[in-house]
Structure 1
Amino acid sequence: MKTVTGPDEPPVTADALRTGRRRMTRAAREQQLLDLAEELFLANGYERTTIEDIARAAGVTRPVVYEHYGSKEGILLACVRRARRQFDSDLMKAVAGTDDPLEQLRRGADAYYRLLERDPRRWQLLFGPGGVVSSALGEELTRERFRTVNLLADLFEAHLPGHDQQQVDAFAHASSGSAEQLGHWWLAHPDISREQVARYFVDNVWASFQALRQQTRTANVQASSSGLA
């Protein structure tokens, strides 16, 4: 059968041209499925979205969706991983270029709440309560959140020489939870500016960070005085 091709494009059959459909590369199909699944999850909720819905939106059969992602849980996890990778990248870019912990905190808060302001529905995919999911999927989603929190812990501990690792991890989780809850509060109070919400977060977390830093310094001095350092 005669085909029509373009530079670096997969072949397009004459039948595909007549019907308006064309073959897609595997990578392009995966991205298409993720885009459509994410929209359906956000619009209708995870529980009310089916593999058939995703397949119909993409113009493919259900086996095609299963081939790429295995299950509805698999495609939700892929959506969350993609969104989190982008957020984590944006966060690290935001804090790059300064070693000042307060400035890093301000830039990180700005990046976080810009995400919420720009796309509240996608933020809900990352930080919302979500639908009813299996325990296995819930564990995977929790691990994805913890990867982001680990980035925060790495940023904090760089300014806490001689720190207690467990305490820094706990502080990172508490800070992440504070940012998330403040985000939900902001959604209920949309009249408040993004800048103000970010300031609320920074003011609260910075005060706690200063206390933790002083506590770490005191512990280091005491350990040195007792000959334990």
Structure 2
Amino acid sequence: MAGEPRRRLAPEVRRAQLVSAAEDVFVRLGYQGAAVEDIAAAAGVTRTLIYKYFADKDEIYLECLRVARGELDAAVVAAAGGVESPEEQLRAGLRSYFLFVRDRGSTWDVLFGGGAAVAGRVAEAASRHRYETAEVITALILGAAPHLDQDSASTYAHAVSGAGEQAAKWWRRHPHIETEVMVERLMDVLWTGLERIAEQNG
């Protein structure tokens, strides 16, 4: 009813609400086109409340990136952990990745796919998050091939991560390609070498 005080949300709930609203704004307006005022309007709050949780637009963007990257990493790990053979782990991880790109394509563009013209500390943080995602893949590779040394596994993981990112960029320009086709194309590229590595186990 009119005149009723706004319901006070728990800080973690309010923060999540702001991040969700900000993600939508960044997708709609782009990083450069978005302003804190736009995010406040989308969330139905004042600029003052935004600044209670975030120092500036950069910090909001980085939190959007951190949350989405965390969701993607968790999905890939869960998918790969649901199967036993190294080949099926790779296939399941790739499928989970491409499903994220398919279902949240605009978000992927702005946060991961180079769709945001970011620089300075934002670009540095984005690069750090990308590195951390590759290190998640490193752990999966070491699980499938524990005989590998850390540096080798990390090298392979970063190659897989880079291949997936570039393939996803291509796919965003060719959305008529089915998800499973993309999964199998990456398997064709990646599994030949990784199979040989996995077979050296033991």
User: Map of 1:88-127 to 2, 5 A cutoff?
Assistant: 88-127=73-112
Report what 1:173 is aligned to.
158
**1:148 equivalent among 133, 139, 144:** 133
Q: Assess if the C-alpha contact under 8 Å between 1:80 and 1:125 holds in 2.
A: no
* Structure 2 unpaired stretches of 5+: none
Report what 1:8 is aligned to.
none
Deviation at 1:34, TM superposition (A): 0.8
Q: Assess if the C-alpha contact under 8 Å between 2:83 and 2:89 holds in 1.
A: yes
1:45-71, CA deviations, whole angstroms, 9 ceiling, x for partnerless residues? Answer: 001101111122223222211110111
Secondary structure at the counterpart of residue 8 of structure 2: coil
CA gap 1:167/1:51 in 2 versus in 1, 3 angstroms: same
Structure 1 distance, partners of 2:183, 2:20, is 29
Structure 1 position 194 matched with structure 2 position 182 = no
**1:83 equivalent among 65, 68, 72:** 68
Report what 2:24 is aligned to.
39
Matched letter for residue 3 of structure 2: D
**TM-score normalised per structure 1:** 0.80
Deviation at 1:213, TM superposition (A): 4.4
Deviation at 1:195, TM superposition (A): 0.6
**2:4 equivalent among 8, 16, 19:** 16
Decide which structure has the larger Cα Rg and report it.
1
Report what 1:64 is aligned to.
49
Deviation at 1:14, TM superposition (A): 7.4
Structure 1 distance, partners of 2:115, 2:173, is 17
Aligned residues: 202
Moved over 4 A (4+): none
**1:164 equivalent among 149, 153, 176:** 149
Q: Assess if the C-alpha contact under 8 Å between 1:34 and 1:78 holds in 2.
A: yes
Structure 2 distance, partners of 1:101, 1:132, is 37
Q: Assess if the C-alpha contact under 8 Å between 1:152 and 1:172 holds in 2.
A: yes
Secondary structure at the counterpart of residue 16 of structure 2: helix
Report what 1:137 is aligned to.
122
CA gap 1:125/1:132 in 2 versus in 1, 3 angstroms: closer
Matched letter for residue 104 of structure 2: D
Matched letter for residue 164 of structure 1: D
1:4-49, CA deviations, whole angstroms, 9 ceiling, x for partnerless residues? Answer: xxxxxxxxx97226xxx43333222212211111001011100110
Report what 1:73 is aligned to.
58
Structure 2 distance, partners of 1:78, 1:61, is 19
RMSD of aligned alpha carbons: 2.1
Structure 2 distance, partners of 1:192, 1:56, is 37
Deviation at 1:146, TM superposition (A): 1.6
Structure 2 distance, partners of 1:72, 1:81, is 14
Tell me the percent identity. 34
Matched letter for residue 73 of structure 1: D
